[in-house]
Structure 1
Amino acid sequence: MQYSQKSFENLKKSLKNREEFLPFDFLGRSLSYNPYMPRALIEDFKRDGKIAKKCFALPAFGYDNLAFAASLNSEVIRVDFSSLYEDNILGADAFDCLTQLRRYSEKIIIHNDIFLNQYQVLESCIYGSDCVVFDAGILAKELSKMCEFATRLGLVPIVKISSLRDIKMAIFARAQILYIAQDFSNLIASIPNSKIVLCDLSAEVSELDEKNSYGVDMFFVSV
């Protein structure tokens, strides 16, 4: 997904406001009494047999939709904030749904966002996520540092890729889970067998089988 210039401008304004209100050092100190430390393991995303797993993906939600999110029949939930920046300058309270979902369910939470710096990763951990999705095309040379920082916090980094160049950056960053964000089926053959592969489930696929699960460990299903 290509983000607009407006999305990046709003994101940077949002980050500036949040960092001025609660600087990185103060945010980091709150980790000492954080009740929601990350729980996910890399193995949680690896398929058990010949059929890929499913992960439901939904946009950021309000408290009214918490029961729906918690009831979804999936061990893993991806919550997406990336589309919100087109029309909004987000405050820290925008991520409350991560904490709500963590408090009221046992689901592994993937935080999908436009990550630019370590402050966002620290926020994600404190709000209760278990995994973060980094876009290799956006972070480029910073990808390794971001993956290392996320891992230090106990988060599982997932690297979004859309080209062979992205795969090389993800491998250099020692990422174990790669997310093919679009229908780049030709990329699967270039990913080492040791890596875990996530993909978006095509709307044309009604049921998973061995054929359409080939090379994929988990599919994201939009709801």
Structure 2
Amino acid sequence: MSIENLKALLKLKQEMRPFDLLGRSLAYNPYLPRLSLEQLQRPKNIPLAHTLLALDVRQDLEVFLENLQKVQESQALALSLDFTPLYAKEPSLEMLDLLGFVRRLCSKPLILKDLIVERYQILEALVYGVDALILDPSLLQKDLKDMVAYAMHLGLLAIVQVASTADLKHAILARAKALYIVQDFKEILQLVPQGLVILKDLSTPPITPTNSYGVDALMLWS
């Protein structure tokens, strides 16, 4: 992934539509965030974690639409889209149009994983219909707390990605309420304070009481 590609794209977008103009567009924004922390939290008497479905945005459009229809017809709580692979080459200005497209065709709450480094991107995600964001401490570092607070201020659910004990520390200091654990799950899980909502990937479905242990929601990829 290329941060330079990201910075070039952000500069171009902000020249075309400055932050203030983007903010004013919220006055007629038809989208309101639909995913709350309480929805993701698994009730203690429920043995199975919630199901989250993730789609590869690099799929051919026909395949993507077929999988999107399956998501719509499923019992999944939400849909996740990961844009980070798109930065391997110079991304298109139209890449975010996919979010609006998905929002119109699928009623599931939408979770976005992107290379988010500025407030502009969080505001932009809200305008395009996103309900929750996955934030990476390794990218944001000292700005993580501010970005978590800003996402929450806009009504979005902020989920902090945790790939190490250092990430977990940053997430706790940022007062994150939801974590997406991507590596060393068992070791990190033992260190997570009680009360936080925990998401992780599931490599081998189906969801069972065993792989649901300690988890509120499991991410399945299509």
| TM-score for both structures, normalised by structure 2 | 0.91
Contact kept? 2:164, 2:183, Cα under 8 Å = no
Q: 1:67 to 1:96 in 2, by over 3 A?
A: farther
1:48-105 Cα shifts (integer Å, max 9, x gaps): 41111211111226764335314312220001110000012331x2111211222222
Q: What CA distance in whole angstroms lies between the structure 2 residues aligned with 1:66 and 1:169?
A: 37
Partner of 1:144: 145
* Structure 1 segment 105-144 matched on structure 2, within 5 A: 105-144=106-145
Consecutive unaligned residues of structure 1, counting only runs of 5 or more, are none
1:106-151 Cα shifts (integer Å, max 9, x gaps): 2010011010000000110000000011001221110011011111
Q: 1:193 to 1:113 in 2, by over 3 A?
A: same
1:27 pairs with 8, 19, 22, which one? 22
Contact kept? 2:134, 2:160, Cα under 8 Å = yes
Partner of 2:38: 43
Q: What CA distance in whole angstroms lies between the structure 2 residues aligned with 1:60 and 1:152?
A: 28
Partner of 1:52: 49
Q: What CA distance in whole angstroms lies between the structure 2 residues aligned with 1:59 and 1:16?
A: 26
Partner of 1:79: 81
Partner of 1:206: 205
Tell me the CA shift for residue 206 of structure 1: 3.1
1:13 paired with 2:8, answer yes
AA at the equivalent of 2:88: E
Contact kept? 2:178, 2:198, Cα under 8 Å = yes
Secondary structure at the counterpart of residue 103 of structure 1 = helix
Consecutive unaligned residues of structure 2, counting only runs of 5 or more, are none
Q: What CA distance in whole angstroms lies between the structure 2 residues aligned with 1:183 and 1:81?
A: 23
1:169-196 Cα shifts (integer Å, max 9, x gaps): 1112111110002243200010012001
Secondary structure at the counterpart of residue 171 of structure 1 = helix
Q: What CA distance in whole angstroms lies between the structure 2 residues aligned with 1:163 and 1:182?
A: 7
Secondary structure at the counterpart of residue 81 of structure 2 = strand
Q: What CA distance in whole angstroms lies between the structure 2 residues aligned with 1:104 and 1:201?
A: 25
Q: What CA distance in whole angstroms lies between the structure 2 residues aligned with 1:160 and 1:118?
A: 17
Q: What CA distance in whole angstroms lies between the structure 1 residues aligned with 2:33 and 2:205?
A: 32
Q: What CA distance in whole angstroms lies between the structure 2 residues aligned with 1:172 and 1:183?
A: 20
Secondary structure at the counterpart of residue 160 of structure 1 = strand
Secondary structure at the counterpart of residue 142 of structure 2 = helix
Contact kept? 1:182, 1:200, Cα under 8 Å = no
1:4-49 Cα shifts (integer Å, max 9, x gaps): xxx1111111111111111111111101100012121111211241
Q: What CA distance in whole angstroms lies between the structure 2 residues aligned with 1:34 and 1:47?
A: 31
Contact kept? 1:56, 1:222, Cα under 8 Å = yes
Contact kept? 1:158, 1:178, Cα under 8 Å = yes
| TM-score for both structures, normalised by structure 1 | 0.91
Secondary structure at the counterpart of residue 101 of structure 2 = helix
Secondary structure at the counterpart of residue 149 of structure 1 = helix
Secondary structure at the counterpart of residue 53 of structure 2 = strand
Q: What CA distance in whole angstroms lies between the structure 2 residues aligned with 1:206 and 1:222?
A: 10
Q: What RMSD, in angstroms, separates the aligned Cα atoms of the two structures?
A: 1.5
Q: What CA distance in whole angstroms lies between the structure 2 residues aligned with 1:30 and 1:70?
A: 30
Tell me the CA shift for residue 208 of structure 1: 2.1
